[in-house]
Amino acid sequence: MRKTVHRHLGKVVAGTAIAVAGTAVMVAVTLPGTAGADDTGTRAGQSVPQGAGAAAGAGGRAVAPGVVEAAPAEGQQGEGRDPLTDDELKRVEKIALSKQLFRSSESVDGDRGPQRLGVDLAEPEADEAGRPDAPRRADVTFYDYRDDTLVTRTVDLGTGEVVHSDTQHGVQPPLSRAEKAEAAGLLIADPLGAGLKADYRDATGKALTSPDQLQLSGAVYRAAPGAQPAVLDRCGEHRCVRLFPKIKNGPWVDARSLVIDLSARKVARLDR
């Protein structure tokens, strides 16, 4: 890995979709921008000194810096197809996570309880479309690492009840932030992470010991029969990750040849 990393890598791949061809099928991803890597100019959120950078208006008068207004107060309950409020997000997750599900499932780091993936406003039923009084529902998704199942529970925001529950195997939605951090932690602790740690030391002069030191993007990896090491053959049934780490305020590190099986908690290198 160390030989393939270059300082210009972040500028070359940032903001472009990476389509992976060859040994396996992988969800295409778009890497975030290069904010923090060799940035110049004024950063968002920093104030501009009076007179510095002010544009000259008509008649030579300076234009005052813009003012960002605070977001309006958010209500506890949304209406219709309004996005879910913070209060609604907390409430539906609590309702969806029953005691039975909590006790019988496992998160990405091995703790009791399923791994939360996301909460989304549910689509209305066919006969409810366009109705102003249509029930407002939310889909809450969890991943149970105990038996590799995706659990989706639909909560009626009006009644506070779970109106639908579904369990699926072999379904791999996008990764949560916690899952990418856990994958990075496994890679850092594994002998195959030696190249990543060496690249980090070369770029910063410091040791890489925690996922918090990296900016992490990643994608689900699915195995193609016979196209990768046997240890990765269950990827797709297992939850497997390809990471795209970026050194904070530094370059991207090319780790595409490495796959982390979060279900088996193993790291493997793809055959070339």
Tens digits of residue pLDDT in 171-195 = 999 999 999 999 999 999 999 999 9
* Predicted local distance difference test score (pLDDT) of residue 50: 45
pLDDT of residue 259: 97
Distances (CA, A) of 22 to 45, 125, 175, 227: 42, 41, 22, 8
**How far apart, in Å, are the Cα atoms of 197 and each of 5, 32, 34, 205, 208?**
12, 22, 20, 11, 5
Measuring CA to CA, which residue among 258, 175, 244, 212 is closest to residue 15? 244
How far apart (Å, rounded) are the C-alpha atoms in residues 116 and 110?
13
pLDDT above 70: residue 202: yes
pLDDT greater than 80 at residue 251: yes
Residue 252 has pLDDT above 70, yes or no: yes
HSE toward the beta carbon, residue 255, CA cutoff 13 A: 33
Arithmetic mean of pLDDT, 162-179:
96
pLDDT digits (tens, 9 = 90+) for 65-122: 666 655 444 557 777 778 899 999 999 999 999 999 999 999 999 999 999 999 999 9
Mean pLDDT of the chain: 79
- Is the pLDDT at 12 greater than 70, yes or no? no
Q: Is 119 left (phi over 0), alpha (psi -120 to 50) or beta?
A: beta
Predicted pLDDT at 127? 76
Residue 34 scores a pLDDT above 80: no
Q: Tell me the C-alpha distance between 125 and 208, whole Å.
A: 49
For tokens 């990405």, the residue is 108
Greater confidence, 30 or 132?
132
Dihedral sign for Cα 3, 9, 14, 16, please: negative
Q: Which residue has the higher pLDDT, 125 or 70?
A: 125
**Residue 208 clears pLDDT 60, i.e. is over it:** yes
Q: Residue range 258-265: average pLDDT? A: 97
Name the DSSP letter for residue 191: G
Phi, then psi, of 240 in degrees rounded to 5: -120, 150
Task: Tell me if the pTM is above 0.85.
Answer: no
Amino acid 126: pLDDT: 77
pLDDT for position 69: 53
**Amino acid sitting at position 40:** T
Residues recorded for the chain: 272
User: In the chain, pLDDT over 90 holds for what percent of residues?
Assistant: 59
Instruction: State how far the alpha carbon of 229 is from the alpha carbons of 26, 27, 166, in Å.
Output: 16, 19, 32
In this structure, how many other beta carbons lie within 10 angstroms of the beta carbon of residue 115?
Answer: 23
Q: Look at residue 60 and tell me whether its pLDDT is greater than 70.
A: no
Question: Does residue 144 register a pLDDT over 50?
Answer: yes
Average pLDDT score over residue span 235-248: 96
Q: Pick the residue with more confidence: 64 or 225?
A: 225
Encoding tokens for residue 265?
């908690």
DSSP class of 82 = P
pLDDT at 188: 97
Closest CA to 200 of 154, 167, 249, 148: 249
- pLDDT value at residue 44: 35
Higher pLDDT, 25 or 257: 257
Question: Structure tokens of 260?
Answer: 């982390």
**Range with lowest mean pLDDT among 17-31, 78-92, 249-263:** 17-31
- Calculate helix-pair angle for 194-204, 177-189, nearest 10 degrees: 100
Distance CA 161, CA 228 (A): 44
